[in-house]
Amino acid sequence: MTAPTRTAEVEPVFTGGESLQTLLPTAGEGAFEELRERLAVFERNRYGQEWTTTDLLLGLVGDLGDLAKLVQAHEGKRDVADLDRALVHELGDCLWALIVIADRLGVDLDDALQTMSSDVHRWLDDQAQ
């Protein structure tokens, strides 16, 4: 087994307190909607219908499995060519699916992240007592 292909350690982007919008900048006004529409057209042409929210969730599960294998490679337990590029791609796939699923379900991810953070802080405070 050869060593995984990696460039350098990467500093965490999220250090707490940032808005999800600052962490997920768009390529330009309407970029999200344009990409969603292009994918919808592709899905209708290829499959005869757009992916449902359940289809997107199943895709996310598959992407998470792929990401798990890449994390193993990052830890030296698998060989993956161009690991850094593969990690960026797969994390992007997972983020995209989460964003689209949340949008379809009417969930504001910024609010969800803040709620989760508050809940965990409250739980940790309770554990300290």
pLDDT digits (tens, 9 = 90+) for 93-103: 999 999 999 99
pTM of the predicted model as reported, rounded to 2 decimal places: 0.75
pLDDT at 21 over 70: no
Query: What is the rounded average pLDDT for all residues in the chain?
Result: 84
Cβ–Cβ < 8 Å for 25, 18: no
pLDDT at 5 over 80: no
* pLDDT tens, position by position, 73-120: 999 999 999 999 999 999 999 999 999 999 999 999 999 999 999 999
pLDDT bin (cut points 50, 70, 90) of residue 18 is low
Give the closest residue to 20 by CA, choosing from 111, 100, 94, 93.
111
